[in-house]
Chain A
Amino acid sequence: MQAEQAGCDFGGLVREHQSMVFSLSYHFLHDREMAEEVAQEVFLALHRHLAEIQSPEHAVFWLRKVAAQRSIDQARRRQRRPQVALEDVAEPAAAAPAGDPMLSEVLRRLIASLPEAPRMVMVMRYQEDLDPAEIAELLEMPLGTVKSHLQRSLALLREKLERRGLGEH
Protein backbone atom coordinates (compact mmCIF):
# COMPACT_ATOMS: atom_id res chain seq x y z
CA MET A 1 0.00 0.00 0.00
CA GLN A 2 1.34 3.44 -0.87
CA ALA A 3 2.10 5.72 2.06
CA GLU A 4 -0.17 8.49 0.78
CA GLN A 5 -3.04 6.06 0.29
CA ALA A 6 -2.57 5.05 3.93
CA GLY A 7 -3.00 8.69 4.96
CA CYS A 8 0.72 9.27 5.54
CA ASP A 9 1.59 12.50 3.78
CA PHE A 10 4.99 13.79 4.83
CA GLY A 11 3.93 17.30 5.90
CA GLY A 12 1.10 15.90 8.00
CA LEU A 13 3.38 13.38 9.71
CA VAL A 14 5.90 16.10 10.58
CA ARG A 15 3.20 18.37 12.01
CA GLU A 16 1.57 15.57 13.99
CA HIS A 17 4.67 13.90 15.41
CA GLN A 18 7.24 16.69 15.74
CA SER A 19 6.68 17.00 19.51
CA MET A 20 7.01 13.24 20.03
CA VAL A 21 10.25 12.91 18.04
CA PHE A 22 11.81 16.09 19.41
CA SER A 23 10.91 15.18 23.00
CA LEU A 24 12.25 11.62 22.77
CA SER A 25 15.55 13.03 21.66
CA TYR A 26 15.46 15.97 24.07
CA HIS A 27 14.69 13.86 27.14
CA PHE A 28 17.42 11.42 26.18
CA LEU A 29 20.14 13.91 25.20
CA HIS A 30 19.14 16.88 27.38
CA ASP A 31 20.38 19.29 24.73
CA ARG A 32 17.90 21.31 22.66
CA GLU A 33 20.21 21.90 19.68
CA MET A 34 21.24 18.27 19.44
CA ALA A 35 17.64 17.17 19.91
CA GLU A 36 16.51 19.41 17.05
CA GLU A 37 19.32 18.09 14.85
CA VAL A 38 18.39 14.47 15.62
CA ALA A 39 14.67 15.13 15.11
CA GLN A 40 15.41 16.67 11.71
CA GLU A 41 17.55 13.64 10.75
CA VAL A 42 14.72 11.32 11.81
CA PHE A 43 12.15 13.12 9.64
CA LEU A 44 14.53 13.24 6.66
CA ALA A 45 15.03 9.49 7.04
CA LEU A 46 11.23 9.13 7.13
CA HIS A 47 11.02 11.14 3.91
CA ARG A 48 13.42 8.71 2.23
CA HIS A 49 11.46 5.68 3.49
CA LEU A 50 7.96 7.11 3.12
CA ALA A 51 6.99 4.51 0.52
CA GLU A 52 7.59 1.75 3.09
CA ILE A 53 5.18 3.23 5.66
CA GLN A 54 1.98 1.18 5.66
CA SER A 55 -0.28 2.99 8.12
CA PRO A 56 -0.33 5.88 10.61
CA GLU A 57 0.40 3.38 13.42
CA HIS A 58 3.38 2.05 11.50
CA ALA A 59 4.61 5.64 11.09
CA VAL A 60 4.48 6.20 14.87
CA PHE A 61 6.32 2.91 15.56
CA TRP A 62 8.92 3.74 12.88
CA LEU A 63 9.48 7.28 14.18
CA ARG A 64 9.89 6.14 17.79
CA LYS A 65 12.33 3.41 16.79
CA VAL A 66 14.45 5.62 14.57
CA ALA A 67 14.38 8.49 17.08
CA ALA A 68 15.69 6.11 19.77
CA GLN A 69 18.43 4.76 17.51
CA ARG A 70 19.54 8.20 16.29
CA SER A 71 19.52 9.65 19.81
CA ILE A 72 21.71 6.81 21.10
CA ASP A 73 24.05 7.21 18.10
CA GLN A 74 24.28 10.95 18.76
CA ALA A 75 25.09 10.42 22.44
CA ARG A 76 27.83 7.95 21.50
CA ARG A 77 29.26 10.29 18.85
CA ARG A 78 29.52 13.13 21.30
CA GLN A 79 30.91 10.77 23.93
CA ARG A 80 29.50 12.77 26.74
CA ARG A 81 26.83 12.49 29.33
CA PRO A 82 24.00 14.95 28.79
CA GLN A 83 24.32 18.14 30.72
CA VAL A 84 21.38 20.35 31.36
CA ALA A 85 21.17 23.96 32.36
CA LEU A 86 18.03 25.44 33.84
CA GLU A 87 17.54 27.65 30.79
CA ASP A 88 17.61 24.53 28.59
CA VAL A 89 14.47 23.13 30.14
CA ALA A 90 11.79 23.45 27.47
CA GLU A 91 8.24 24.48 28.14
CA PRO A 92 5.56 21.77 28.11
CA ALA A 93 3.76 21.41 24.75
CA ALA A 94 0.35 21.11 26.32
CA ALA A 95 -1.17 21.66 29.71
CA ALA A 96 0.74 19.19 31.84
CA PRO A 97 -0.77 17.58 34.91
CA ALA A 98 -0.04 19.43 38.09
CA GLY A 99 3.41 18.66 39.44
CA ASP A 100 6.25 20.28 41.29
CA PRO A 101 8.46 22.08 38.72
CA MET A 102 11.52 21.81 40.93
CA LEU A 103 11.00 18.08 41.42
CA SER A 104 10.47 17.67 37.66
CA GLU A 105 13.78 19.35 37.00
CA VAL A 106 15.55 17.14 39.54
CA LEU A 107 13.96 14.06 37.94
CA ARG A 108 15.05 15.12 34.44
CA ARG A 109 18.60 15.55 35.71
CA LEU A 110 18.55 12.18 37.44
CA ILE A 111 17.22 10.46 34.32
CA ALA A 112 19.91 12.19 32.28
CA SER A 113 22.51 10.59 34.54
CA LEU A 114 21.29 7.02 33.85
CA PRO A 115 23.20 4.76 31.42
CA GLU A 116 21.79 4.86 27.88
CA ALA A 117 19.67 1.69 27.82
CA PRO A 118 17.71 2.31 31.06
CA ARG A 119 17.48 6.01 30.16
CA MET A 120 15.78 5.24 26.84
CA VAL A 121 13.50 2.69 28.51
CA MET A 122 12.43 5.30 31.10
CA VAL A 123 11.80 7.92 28.41
CA MET A 124 9.67 5.48 26.40
CA ARG A 125 7.76 4.43 29.53
CA TYR A 126 6.99 7.85 30.98
CA GLN A 127 7.03 10.17 27.96
CA GLU A 128 5.26 7.84 25.53
CA ASP A 129 3.32 5.86 28.15
CA LEU A 130 4.32 2.55 26.53
CA ASP A 131 4.05 -0.70 28.43
CA PRO A 132 7.14 -2.91 28.89
CA ALA A 133 6.16 -5.27 26.04
CA GLU A 134 5.85 -2.35 23.58
CA ILE A 135 9.21 -0.96 24.74
CA ALA A 136 10.83 -4.38 24.33
CA GLU A 137 9.56 -4.63 20.74
CA LEU A 138 10.57 -1.07 19.89
CA LEU A 139 14.08 -1.25 21.35
CA GLU A 140 14.59 -4.91 20.35
CA MET A 141 15.33 -5.83 23.94
CA PRO A 142 14.15 -8.87 25.97
CA LEU A 143 11.04 -8.12 28.03
CA GLY A 144 12.84 -9.15 31.21
CA THR A 145 15.60 -6.63 30.54
CA VAL A 146 13.07 -3.83 30.05
CA LYS A 147 11.30 -4.69 33.32
CA SER A 148 14.62 -4.92 35.11
CA HIS A 149 15.73 -1.49 33.77
CA LEU A 150 12.43 0.03 34.91
CA GLN A 151 12.58 -1.48 38.41
CA ARG A 152 16.22 -0.62 38.98
CA SER A 153 15.86 2.90 37.63
CA LEU A 154 12.81 3.60 39.78
CA ALA A 155 14.58 2.23 42.86
CA LEU A 156 17.64 4.36 42.08
CA LEU A 157 15.54 7.50 41.60
CA ARG A 158 13.66 6.87 44.88
CA GLU A 159 16.92 6.41 46.74
CA LYS A 160 18.47 9.58 45.30
CA LEU A 161 15.34 11.62 45.96
CA GLU A 162 15.21 10.42 49.56
CA ARG A 163 18.87 11.37 50.03
CA ARG A 164 17.97 14.86 48.85
CA GLY A 165 15.00 14.99 51.18
CA LEU A 166 12.58 14.82 48.24
CA GLY A 167 11.08 11.45 49.06
CA GLU A 168 7.41 10.48 49.09
CA HIS A 169 5.10 13.38 49.84
Chain B
Amino acid sequence: MDWLEQELKHALARKDPPPGFAARVRRAAGRSRVFTMPRWMAATAALLVVTGAGIGWREHRGRVAKEQVMMAVRITAVQLNRIQTRVREVRP
Protein backbone atom coordinates (compact mmCIF):
# COMPACT_ATOMS: atom_id res chain seq x y z
CA MET B 1 0.00 0.00 0.00
CA ASP B 2 1.61 3.30 -1.10
CA TRP B 3 1.43 6.73 0.56
CA LEU B 4 -1.74 7.74 -1.32
CA GLU B 5 -3.61 4.64 -0.21
CA GLN B 6 -2.47 5.22 3.38
CA GLU B 7 -3.75 8.80 3.18
CA LEU B 8 -7.05 7.56 1.71
CA LYS B 9 -7.50 5.14 4.61
CA HIS B 10 -6.92 8.02 6.99
CA ALA B 11 -9.25 10.38 5.10
CA LEU B 12 -12.02 7.76 4.95
CA ALA B 13 -11.73 6.52 8.54
CA ARG B 14 -15.11 5.70 10.10
CA LYS B 15 -16.90 8.56 11.81
CA ASP B 16 -19.38 8.43 14.66
CA PRO B 17 -22.95 9.47 13.83
CA PRO B 18 -24.42 12.41 15.77
CA PRO B 19 -25.05 11.77 19.50
CA GLY B 20 -28.29 9.92 20.27
CA PHE B 21 -28.44 8.27 16.85
CA ALA B 22 -28.82 4.70 18.16
CA ALA B 23 -31.58 5.76 20.57
CA ARG B 24 -33.45 7.55 17.77
CA VAL B 25 -33.23 4.47 15.55
CA ARG B 26 -34.54 2.20 18.33
CA ARG B 27 -37.45 4.61 19.00
CA ALA B 28 -38.31 4.75 15.28
CA ALA B 29 -38.14 0.95 15.06
CA GLY B 30 -40.46 0.69 18.08
CA ARG B 31 -42.98 3.01 16.43
CA SER B 32 -42.88 1.08 13.17
CA ARG B 33 -43.48 -2.19 15.08
CA VAL B 34 -46.81 -0.81 16.40
CA PHE B 35 -48.11 -0.51 12.84
CA THR B 36 -46.62 -3.75 11.54
CA MET B 37 -49.05 -6.62 11.04
CA PRO B 38 -48.14 -10.18 10.13
CA ARG B 39 -48.39 -11.08 6.46
CA TRP B 40 -51.21 -13.57 6.99
CA MET B 41 -53.24 -10.88 8.77
CA ALA B 42 -52.64 -8.35 5.99
CA ALA B 43 -53.60 -10.97 3.37
CA THR B 44 -56.78 -11.87 5.29
CA ALA B 45 -57.71 -8.20 5.65
CA ALA B 46 -57.18 -7.63 1.91
CA LEU B 47 -59.28 -10.73 1.11
CA LEU B 48 -62.10 -9.51 3.36
CA VAL B 49 -62.07 -6.08 1.73
CA VAL B 50 -62.16 -7.59 -1.78
CA THR B 51 -64.91 -10.08 -0.84
CA GLY B 52 -66.93 -7.34 0.88
CA ALA B 53 -66.56 -5.07 -2.13
CA GLY B 54 -67.67 -7.94 -4.41
CA ILE B 55 -70.75 -8.66 -2.31
CA GLY B 56 -71.60 -4.96 -2.17
CA TRP B 57 -71.26 -4.65 -5.95
CA ARG B 58 -73.49 -7.68 -6.54
CA GLU B 59 -76.13 -6.26 -4.19
CA HIS B 60 -75.99 -2.94 -5.97
CA ARG B 61 -76.39 -4.64 -9.38
CA GLY B 62 -79.34 -6.66 -7.97
CA ARG B 63 -81.07 -3.51 -6.75
CA VAL B 64 -80.60 -1.81 -10.13
CA ALA B 65 -82.03 -4.87 -11.97
CA LYS B 66 -85.00 -5.02 -9.59
CA GLU B 67 -85.74 -1.34 -10.18
CA GLN B 68 -85.61 -1.90 -13.94
CA VAL B 69 -88.06 -4.82 -13.71
CA MET B 70 -90.44 -2.77 -11.52
CA MET B 71 -90.27 0.10 -14.00
CA ALA B 72 -91.12 -2.29 -16.88
CA VAL B 73 -94.07 -3.72 -14.89
CA ARG B 74 -95.36 -0.20 -14.18
CA ILE B 75 -95.11 0.79 -17.87
CA THR B 76 -96.90 -2.40 -18.92
CA ALA B 77 -99.67 -1.79 -16.36
CA VAL B 78 -100.22 1.75 -17.66
CA GLN B 79 -100.41 0.45 -21.22
CA LEU B 80 -102.89 -2.29 -20.22
CA ASN B 81 -105.09 0.28 -18.43
CA ARG B 82 -105.15 2.46 -21.54
CA ILE B 83 -106.11 -0.51 -23.75
CA GLN B 84 -108.82 -1.56 -21.30
CA THR B 85 -110.24 1.99 -21.28
CA ARG B 86 -110.26 2.08 -25.12
CA VAL B 87 -112.03 -1.32 -25.23
CA ARG B 88 -114.73 -0.09 -22.82
CA GLU B 89 -115.26 3.03 -24.93
CA VAL B 90 -115.65 1.01 -28.14
CA ARG B 91 -118.19 -1.42 -26.63
CA PRO B 92 -121.84 -0.36 -27.10
Contact = CB atoms under 8 A, between A and B. Distances in A.
Interface of A: 10-11, 14-15, 18-20, 22-23, 26-27, 32, 35-36, 39-40, 43-44, 47-48, 90-94, 96-100, 103-105, 107-108, 111, 122-123, 125-127, 129, 154, 157-158, 161, 168-169
Secondary structure of the B contact surface, majority rule: helix
A90 B15 contact: yes
B3 A169 contact: yes
Contact of B28 (A40, A91, A108, A127): A40
Contacts, number: 113
B5 interface: yes
B60 to A, nearest CB: 39
7 contacts: A14-B25, A43-B29, A93-B16, A99-B6, A99-B11, A107-B12, A161-B4
B21 interface: yes
B28 to A, nearest CB: 6
A39 B21 contact: yes
Interface size class of B (residues with CB under 8 A): 20 to 34
B17 A39 contact: yes
B22 A14 contact: yes
